[in-house]
Structure 1
Amino acid sequence: MKIIDPREPAAVYSIVLWLVTDLGVAVSGALLIVSLGGFGNIWSPPALDFVKRFSIATNICSMTAFALSVVCFARWIHNASIRAHLFSGGMTMSPGWAVGSYFIPIINLFKPFQAMREIWQASIAPNTTGIVPVPVGMRIWWGLWLVRLGLSNANYQAIASVRNLLDIGMSGALNILTFVIDVPMALLLIVLIRRLGANQRARVEAQIFG
């Protein structure tokens, strides 16, 4: 019977939960565009009030779920980094830095990817990490994450400087576009978590029974 680190399913389920709430934000963005005249007619004040309240509720749920997924993912990658350090002496990023690098501006554009890459390589070939290829899915995941960071910043700027209905509609469009990016990004991350977990379990079993 394989023993799975409970941090792994917690990270996966929290990401799925966040993705579901993120769908709600995208729906609220679509309603916002339509209610403000996306089909030619602006909705009645009561309908606009409903859309506003729905948008606030979905955003609160999404932010809460995102915060939960951040905590669960941080716990998972910290533990995955600890195991990778036990496998290989060639690691350059500590478990703490593998988590903390996500929260430091500029550094969070490249260091988290380096941490994930090192964990992956050490979990496959601890003594020859340099020759282990980086999965295409990991590169795509990171590229999508960088795009999402840019969209989130653009959306924040749009909300912070709302001047007219067009700005509000733009925020709704950004919510939809962000969700389009979030779906493949989240699914790729789940695949990486599952595969990396399987690689590390195989490495542990090889050390015990090999």
Structure 2
Amino acid sequence: MKASNLRVPALVVTVLSWAVIAFSLIYAVTHTAWLVSYTQMMESPVMLAVGSFAALLNIFVYLPSIIAVLVWIYLAHSNLHRAGVEGLNYSPIWAALSFLVPVANLFVPFKAMRELANRSAGEPMELADADVDEVFSWWGCWIGSMVVGMVMAYTILVTIVPWLWMTTPFWANQVIVILASILTAGSAFFLIRVVKLVTDNQIDGASMASTFE
């Protein structure tokens, strides 16, 4: 078994993640500029159009990036299991699919990724739950984007119910959208670092590198 099976998936995740970062930040910057011009009664439709186009492109990139990440997670965990690493708490399939399971997706992916990072670095099972800065930062941004997304969904739901009305100011709704884009970009950025950390350790950088030869 060769840990080099992570090279291509890691590259795909990295490329797609950088695309998500770019489109998310373009949207955040242009939408912020549009919101400022709107509040000053000098609305800039060009900025709004650029931001909307970036958001559209982001949708087409974001969906395949999710698949790529799940594939990478599955393979990375599989490498540990195939190498005979003892004391692993998460199977490859559960580590990947836990992202799609309500409630479990609030904590299982984080714990599984933390274990993956630590054990790939050659840490003993006693330190499987030790803090990993890259994983913590990635997960913080990811959870933040999920929470903001839920707030956005709530505001949309309220506005479509005939007998309810939305009390949140228009500008506040726009700020929420901008914040969601920034958090998404942050999550993608730290994910790139996590993927690099784990991939490098499994291939040639860890103290247990010989296990993956």
What letter is aligned with 1:60? L
1:85-96 alignment runs, 5 A limit: 85-87=81-83, 88-96=85-93
Q: Equivalents in 2 of 1:8, 1:178: separation in Å?
A: 25
Q: 1:172: which partner in 2?
A: 174
Q: 1:12: which partner in 2?
A: 14
Match of 2:154 among 151, 157, 161: 157
Which string of whole-angstrom CA distances, capped at 9 and with x for unpartnered residues, describes residues 92-122 of structure 1?
A: 2111111111111211110001111221222
Q: Equivalents in 2 of 1:79, 1:190: separation in Å?
A: 16
Q: 1:117: which partner in 2?
A: 114
CA 106–208 in structure 1, closer or farther in 2 if over 3 Å, else same = closer
Query: Identity over the aligned pairs, expressed in percent?
Result: 19
**SS of residue in 2 equivalent to 1:142:** helix
Paired positions, count: 201
Q: 1:182: which partner in 2?
A: 184
- Using the size of structure 1 for normalisation, the TM-score is 0.81
**SS of residue in 2 equivalent to 1:93:** coil
CA contact (8 A) 1:121 1:130 kept: no
- Using the size of structure 2 for normalisation, the TM-score is 0.80
**SS of residue in 2 equivalent to 1:5:** helix
CA contact (8 A) 1:21 1:62 kept: yes
Q: 1:200: which partner in 2?
A: 202
Which string of whole-angstrom CA distances, capped at 9 and with x for unpartnered residues, describes residues 23-59 of structure 1?
A: 23213432442353x12x164xxx65x6665454332
State the Cα RMSD in Å. Answer: 2.8
Q: Which is worse superposed, 51-60 or 170-179? A: 51-60
Q: 1:75: which partner in 2?
A: 71
Match of 1:23 among 9, 22, 25: 25
What letter is aligned with 2:153? Y
CA contact (8 A) 2:14 2:192 kept: yes
Q: Tell me, which stretches of 5 or more residues in structure 2 are unaligned?
A: 160-164
CA 17–129 in structure 1, closer or farther in 2 if over 3 Å, else same = same
Q: 2:162: which partner in 1?
A: none
User: Aligned-pair distance for 1:153?
Assistant: 1.3
Q: Equivalents in 1 of 2:212, 2:26: separation in Å?
A: 46
CA contact (8 A) 2:74 2:92 kept: yes
Establish whether residue 101 from structure 1 lines up as the match of residue 98 from structure 2.
yes
CA contact (8 A) 2:20 2:61 kept: yes
